[in-house]
Structure 1
């Protein structure tokens, strides 16, 4: 971010908490239909390889039909098989990021996470991924976002043109903290999918808070 124009962040969802099978697919469908979603990080955590493949085959077309980017985490073979829009390298190593860039970019979106210092984040940025995530999938158990992630996202958004995603907390009440960083995208999982009921309402509320923050800054 190189000027003072208000940033209206967009929502990124992680599937980490979604159950396998039709129930998880349906919850994601409800979320996608409830408001603007930029992309979905499809997380293999808790899935066998076969079950994750099945899950991706079910949700990738649905995410794409909703106008969002379907980004497969960690599993390179699955990302190719299901014709995902992108691949996310979560290892936090330059080697893994370099391999992902060589294999998928520019054909697919390539993002990364796990770089937890300014130096390491800048080194990752030199490889020119499409985005950098500050946070760790599944690490949003607390109501508030992690302070380190907020600080890194605010610093990055102020000086680097490559977009960043900042991981929000597990409670929508703390979403303004993530919005205040100026990050282009905010990742939510527990705050949206932590309870089976009310998914649509929480997606709508997140987008309302994004709009409210931009309006307040522009006033």
Structure 2
């Protein structure tokens, strides 16, 4: 009698990755974060800071890291790996293979190092082989340009099928969030679609969570 094939375990449901606006004064956002994150399945928050000196950046970051972590959510800094430890953040998001090569040794193994700015498949594979904790696809470049949603879906599906490190899709709309979840994203990064929603960020975040939950079920 032939052995039964081993069933393939279902893919875990994707989770949200929330990027903040560029922050100069952290006080209003720090006050809003507990209610925003309460009861929503957000895996991590990516803190974006406007340019300043390291001391000022560290103080800004500290004020945002604390409420995020109290919500049992990981807190990463967008760049600024040199202040990750001083701010208490869980890690940093690095942009491009060159930045990854330079900065990852200072973060690993104790901190999270995610990598974006991966233009080619080869770049993504280099990041994965170097030990990136996740790879990000679909974020805008310095000029605000980004691939089509179809191209991002293709890249996410390719990565999810072949590689072990998690992949993240940058969603500019709720429709993209659902599509990227269905394509194979482990995490869906949302940013402006949350903060610019006229109904408020809480409603947009709840809808994003719903979109990836429903569409990931349909896509598996």
Q: TM-score range by the shorter chain?
A: 0.7 to 0.9
- Give the aligned length: 211
Specify the structure having the higher radius of gyration (Cα).
Answer: 2
Taking structure 1 as reference, are residues 69 and 201 closer, same or farther at Cα in structure 2, changes over 3 Å only?
A: same
How many Å separate the matches in 1 of 2:198 and 2:57? 20
The equivalent of 1:150 in structure 2 is 153
More strand by share: 2
Structure 2 segments unaligned to the other structure (5+ residues): 1-7
Q: Indicate conservation of the 8 Å contact 1:17/1:190, yes or no.
A: no
Q: Deviations over 1:102-136 (max 9, x none)?
A: 11111001111111111121122110111111133
Structure 1 segments unaligned to the other structure (5+ residues): none
Runs of 4+ in 1 over 3 A off after TM superposition: 26-30, 49-52, 144-148, 214-218
The equivalent of 1:43 in structure 2 is 48
Q: Which has the higher relative contact order, 1 or 2, with Cα contacts under 8 A spaced 6 or more apart?
A: 1
The equivalent of 1:192 in structure 2 is 194
* Cα shift at 1:34: 4.7
| TM-score where L is the length of structure 1 | 0.83
* Cα shift at 1:173: 3.6
The equivalent of 1:101 in structure 2 is 104
| TM-score where L is the length of structure 2 | 0.83
The equivalent of 1:56 in structure 2 is 61
* Cα shift at 1:17: 4.9
How many Å separate the matches in 2 of 1:13 and 1:190? 10
The equivalent of 1:203 in structure 2 is 205
The equivalent of 1:85 in structure 2 is 90
How many Å separate the matches in 2 of 1:21 and 1:38? 21
How many Å separate the matches in 1 of 2:148 and 2:177? 8
